[in-house]
Amino acid sequence: MSDSDYFATRYTPDPRRRAVWRHIARYLQRWISPTSDVLELGAGYCDFSNAIGAGSRTAIDREPSFAKFAEAGVVTAIGPCTDLSQFTDASFDVVFASNLFEHLEGGALLATLGEIRRVLRSGGRLILVQPNYRLRPQEYFDDYTHVTVFTDRSLPDMLEANGFAREHVEARFLPLTLKSRLSFGHRLVPLYLRLPWRPLAGQMLVIAIRR
């Protein structure tokens, strides 16, 4: 199966996605300086890179056609998250990934973490938005490309075992998919993110610091 096949079935274009991500990026901006060099892994439709404020924005994906979704000012690169050799050591302040790690098996996951550590500057942040198996186990494998299970407990533990220190964890961050009822009105997203307990949540937010 190619990435193009996946985009055509499980990850289809949706104009609501970009509007939702503008609100999510505004929420995440508190952890990202406007002068930071930011790298997005598995960028897909570039919704995060297009929306975040940063000194430089770079998006990488292994699907060549993804670059057409990047707005002006976003640098694009083609390649897998397991090999970031086109970037020099300590070249980014922030690495971001959304719904990526659950698609990686053991060897690929460790390779990706090693590459993230290499390209992050000391004290740089890794920001992850991930499905949380503990919240929605009955739906986790509805996406047939999910191969690895993560929870808001196991993911921070794995990061700490691989050279990162946990900084911030929100077990209940967002609904599991854009197809949830929250997405029918993106203007509800800021209100949703202010709630102390978020209904329908199936994704977590995990932020860690490169030691």
What are the tens digits of pLDDT across the range 83-100? Answer: 999 999 999 999 999 999
Least confident range from 98-107, 136-145, 160-169: namely 136-145
Would you say 206 and 169 are in contact if contact means Cβ atoms under 8 Å apart?
A: yes
- Mean pLDDT, rounded, for 27-41: 98
Q: What is the pLDDT of residue 10?
A: 47
Q: What is the pLDDT of residue 13?
A: 65
Higher pLDDT, 2 or 44: 44
What is the pTM (predicted TM-score) of this model? 0.92
Smallest CA-to-CA distance from 210 within 84, 110, 96, 126 is with 126
Over the stretch 54-77, which tens digit does the pLDDT of each residue have?
A: 999 999 999 999 999 999 999 999
Q: Distance (Å, rounded) from C-alpha 137 to C-alpha 66?
A: 30
Domains defined for the chain, CATH in brackets: 14-210 (3.40.50.150)
Higher pLDDT, 122 or 4: 122
- 186: its two tokens: 């993106």
Residue with tokens 């329908």: 200
Cβ neighbours of residue 149 closer than 8 Å, sequence gap 6 or more:
102, 133, 140
